[in-house]
Every structure is written in C-alpha cells, then in structure tokens.
Structure 1
Amino acid sequence: MTTLAPHEALEIHEAINFKTLCLAKSKLMQGLVFDQELKDLMQKDVEQSLQGLTDLQALYKRAPFSAPVPEKRPTPILN
C-alpha cells in the first residue's frame, strides 16, 4: 500500500470535511422541504455523499500521519 504525500493527505482531509458539511446540510434541509421530488433528490445526494465519504476515508488511511477518522455520521433531526 502506497503512502500519500502530506499535501495529498491534507487535501483529502479537506474534501472529507467539505463532504461532511454538505451531507449534514442535505440531511437538515430534508426536514424543511415539502416537495417529494426535491426530497428524493436530496436523499439521493445524501446516499451519494455517504459513499463518497467512505471512499475518501479509505484513501485517507494511507496518510503518512496518524489521525483517527470519526465513525459518527450526522443523524437526521426529522424523518
């Protein structure tokens, strides 16, 4: 397994942070939306973001420094 360069690891870390923020926003906004088609699109975004985060976390494990990746994911306020 190849180790990432430090700058690559930091860029992946930034992408993980950004995707986590987008995921939290999509989950929160679902509770404010009444249009079912828009809700479905937002749910698809949530599912794709979760997959993207899983992929990024797998890459981040190759970072040259040790930093734990949290396992917690945002939970919806309203279902």
Structure 2
Amino acid sequence: MDSQKLAAHESIDLHEIINFKTLCVAKSKLMQGLVFDQDLRELMQKDVDQSIQALTELQAIYQRAPFEAPVPESKPTPIIN
C-alpha cells in the first residue's frame, strides 16, 4: 500500500494540512518570545516539537501525490513598465 499514489483530492487535503501545521509551528515559535510563564512556554515548545515530527511524517506521505508543480524557468513579464 505504501507504493500506491494518493488520489488528487487526498493530495490537496494533505497539502492544506501541511500548510496549516507549518503556520501553527511558526505561530507557536513566535509566541514563545511573548510568554513569560515557564509552564506555558514549555507546553508551546512541546507543541512545536510534536508538530515538526508530524510534518516530517506528512511530507513522507505527500511524496505519493500523483502530480508535481513544475518550477517556472523564467519570471513572468511585467505588465506595467
């Protein structure tokens, strides 16, 4: 089953989950600097650590997505001079 490709809707859902978890990690890391309570800071760090582990696992699953978005070789032409 590991070699099976994800369906398109599964890939999109997984992509959205990865984006959401990435934003959560960034927010938790930034908010740690504003928190003075050590217990809360430790809880936030635990959330960051668990989220990073989850992101690593999700990215491994995302490798089974049936499509790739090619990176453009050139920049778009500006429409305003």
Question: Normalised by the shorter chain, which TM-score bucket?
Answer: 0.7 to 0.9
Name the TM-score, length of structure 2 as normaliser. 0.81
Is 1:48 the counterpart of 2:50? The answer is yes
Deviations 1:4-59 (A, max 9, x none): 00000000000000000000000000000000000000000000000110011011
List structure 1 runs of 4+ shifted beyond 2 angstroms: none
1:59 to 58, 61, 81: 61
Gaps of 5+ in 2: 71-81
Q: CA RMSD in A?
A: 1.2
C-alpha distance in 2 between matches for 1:15 and 1:55:
12
C-alpha distance in 2 between matches for 1:14 and 1:44:
22
Question: CA offset at residue 64 of structure 1?
Answer: 0.1
In the alignment, residue 17 of structure 2 is paired with which amino acid?
A
Structural mapping, 1:2-21, within 5 Å: 2-21=4-23
| Corresponding residue number in structure 2 for 1:37 | 39
For the pair shown, which has the larger CA radius of gyration, 1 or 2? Answer: 2
Gaps of 5+ in 1: 69-79
Q: Say how many residue pairs are matched.
A: 68
